[in-house]
Amino acid sequence: MDISAAHIAVLAENQYQELELWYPVLRFREEGAHVTVVGPRADQVYGSKLGYPVVPDVAVTDVSPDDFDCVIVPGGFAPEQLRRNRDMLDLVRGVSERDGIVAAICHAGWVLASAGLAKGRKLTCVSVIQDDVKAAGAEYVDQPVVRDGNLITSRLPNDLPEFCRAIAEALAERPARDRSAREHPTGTSAAYQAPARVKTRSAGAGSANYLMYAVSGSPGT
């Protein structure tokens, strides 16, 4: 498959790691790929660990695994929220089931575990969650990038060049496929206009479950 024909989903949630989301988005757009940022909602701002905002191109409920040749899961603490979102897990699992490429970096190993994709696979992740992926049945390897079939994993932002190179190589090996799948917007901009402050609120009275949300504005607002 020529990279310009590839359709790639990059997942977004609050507390994402800045480089692990934007590096692949911009890297593959530069190559001409169709890169769509997918979030829980398309009309909502999500904040990174340092307050860098992103507004997804499309909501996860408006896409299908058949729409994408590859899904990239950034790290940070966003995977803690992504793994609790059934629609996000269904998207990741669905891309894998149709032999699309699933690429996960850093804490995104949590998403692989919750989606049932770690068992019996060789992968890497940030070292602090290695016990989690091992408990999910994976063989943990401490390397910059590990490829096991259609699964590509990396550890940290410094590994992004090798991570994205492995994704590009895997896409190049894929045969071109019928582009009858739906097209989605690809216009998410990295322009920083205001910080996005991530807050939490209780899911309900007396609940121990807290929900994250982001608001735009200066630190004093």
Question: How far, in Å, are 30, 85, 153, 159 from residue 211 at the CA level?
Answer: 35, 12, 27, 30
DSSP strands (E only) in 40-175: 46-47, 53-54, 58-59, 70-73, 101-105, 122-123, 139-140, 145-148, 151-154
3-state helix, strand, coil in the chain (%, to 5): 35, 25, 40
CA distance 157 to 151: 18
CA distance 189 to 161: 21
Active site residue 34: no
Contacts of 219 (CB under 8 A, 6+ apart): 195, 197
Catalytic residue among 7, 34, 107, 184: 107
Q: List, by residue number, the catalytic residues.
A: 107
